[in-house]
Amino acid sequence: MRQIVICVAALLFSAASWAQNGPWSLSKCIDYALEHNISVRQSALNVEQREVELNTAQMSRLPSLSASASENLSFGRGLTADNTYSNSNTTSTSFNLGGNVPVFQGFEINNNIKLGKLNLEAATVDLEKARDDIRVAVAQAYVQILYDQELLRVAQEQSAHDEELLKQIQERERAGKVSSAEVSAQQATLAQSRQSEIQADGNLKLAMLELTQLLELQSPEGFSIVTPEVGDVSQVLLMRPEAIFAEAVEIKPAVESAQLGVDYAKLSIDKAKGAYLPSLSLSGGIGTNYYTNSKMASDPFWNQLSNNFSQYVGLSLNIPIFQRFSTRNNVRNAEINYRGQQLNLENVKKSLYKEIQQAYYSAVNSQARYTGSRENAESAKLHYELTEEKYSVGKAGIADYNDARNNWLKAESEHIQARYQCLYQTKLLDFYRGEPLNF
């Protein structure tokens, strides 16, 4: 129970702190998501792992050094110092210090370092791609909230209007100017408006929840966003998809990541071919030992260590002659993977071009829809105002009045949606060109 109280208090504190910070702008949402979103943080950890792997590859050029010590006891028949066998107890103590230096490993170390650098570059690019993805996702969720907020406002105005209209009709009924059927019809209209308001409120809460989840916030309670000033976005000049693609292909992380995949696969071929080459390593070390036998006297410990001190140095050459065609097949696999990465790069570029094309034509359509919906909303509003005047003087019925108002509100909702959709689509095209996603 105590833990539940603590959790509730933490949520309330978080909600209060968000409310105190005021509404969140799109840039603030994006910056916060880039810092706290788990997917982005996982990509950042991947970069750190690749840095460690590169350091490991670079350090493989250094010599290895190891020390050892051993103690052996022997009982029964054994070899003595004068090269005869007798029943005796012997002990031996040895100390060794050895090192190994890779001289030539078929360029494996150099290729591993190059591959490590490519892996690090790819991880860094993937991190930026993850950031781009979260920027787009946050912007989409942000626009959805703007749209749902406007729909809720319209629904609330509709409910308030229908409630006021019901009061007027009830007064007319008491005065004997309208029938009870008109009262019932308006009551049904009010119930429908309130239901639409409830639905709009629910949609807005879900949109808020989606955005706060992207931000990794604990709760959407107390969260709000800034409503930007939107000008006439229908007049924004749009670049052709070909021109946008020419800029995007040079800067987008997805393309760069695919290109790094091609470079990595090409270098992997060289690494696989390195197994055809011989390897050479240099080794050296020092050692000493101490020996005792129960049947004979032994020199003192330090004297033996000094007298038995030895050094060694050696070269080891390994020449591959026949490896059951494993090296040949590894090279073939590397070449196949290289061709596959080339196809992947081509596919990524084509996918990017398709995305830009879709975003371009969506922006063109949204501009046309924005202009058309604005004209439709203005006409519907004028029709509603004229119908309202007729209704006030008894020349139009309640059904005609409600139809005119509903048509106007529907047209207004469509205009709101077209406005924010047009804003998002035009900004998305700029985002493909490397500009910040903000409005």
How remote is the C-alpha of 321 from its chain's centroid?
47
Report the pLDDT value the prediction gives residue 12, as an integer from 0 to 100. Answer: 47
Report the pLDDT value the prediction gives residue 42, as an integer from 0 to 100. Answer: 94
Element holding 87 (H helix, E strand): strand 85-87
Work out whether strand 90-104 and strand 279-293 pair parallel, antiparallel, or are unpaired: antiparallel
Q: Under DSSP, is residue 182 helix (H, G, I), strand (E, B) or coil?
A: helix
The CA distances from residue 27 to 21, 44, 131, 142, 207, in Å, are 14, 21, 13, 10, 18
Q: What value does the mean pLDDT take over residues 127-143?
A: 94
DSSP 272-315: HHGGGS-EEEEEEEEEEEEEEETTB----HHHHHHHT-EEEEEE
- Taking only the tens place, the pLDDT of each residue in 337-382 is 999 999 999 999 999 999 999 999 999 998 888 889 989 999 999 9
Report the pLDDT value the prediction gives residue 345, as an integer from 0 to 100. Answer: 96
Q: What value does the mean pLDDT take over residues 96-112?
A: 88
Task: Output the six-digit token pair for 113.
Answer: 């370092």
Domains of the chain by residue range = 2-36+105-277+320-432
Q: At residue 13, does pLDDT exceed 80?
A: no
Which numeric CATH code is attached to 2-36+105-277+320-432?
1.20.1600.10
How remote is the C-alpha of 167 from its chain's centroid?
54
> Is the pLDDT higher at 229 or at 429?
429
**Percentage of the chain lying above the pLDDT 90 cut:** 47
Report the pLDDT value the prediction gives residue 82, as an integer from 0 to 100. Answer: 67
Q: At residue 31, does pLDDT exceed 80?
A: yes
> Is the pLDDT higher at 230 or at 258?
258
Which band of pLDDT confidence, cut at 50, 70 and 90, is reported for residue 19?
A: very low
Q: What value does the mean pLDDT take over residues 69-93?
A: 76
Q: At residue 7, does pLDDT exceed 70?
A: no
Report the pLDDT value the prediction gives residue 396, as an integer from 0 to 100. Answer: 77
- Taking only the tens place, the pLDDT of each residue in 162-219 is 888 888 888 878 887 777 888 888 888 889 889 989 999 999 999 999 999 999 999 8
Q: What is the mean pLDDT of the chain?
A: 87
Task: Output the six-digit token pair for 76.
Answer: 């029964």
Distance spanning both ends of the chain, measured CA to CA? 45
Backbone φ and ψ of 186, nearest 5°: -70, -35
Q: At residue 8, does pLDDT exceed 60?
A: no
Q: At residue 11, does pLDDT exceed 80?
A: no
Sequence-ordered list of residues with C-beta below 8 angstroms from that of 407, at least 6 positions apart, any chain: 380, 383, 384
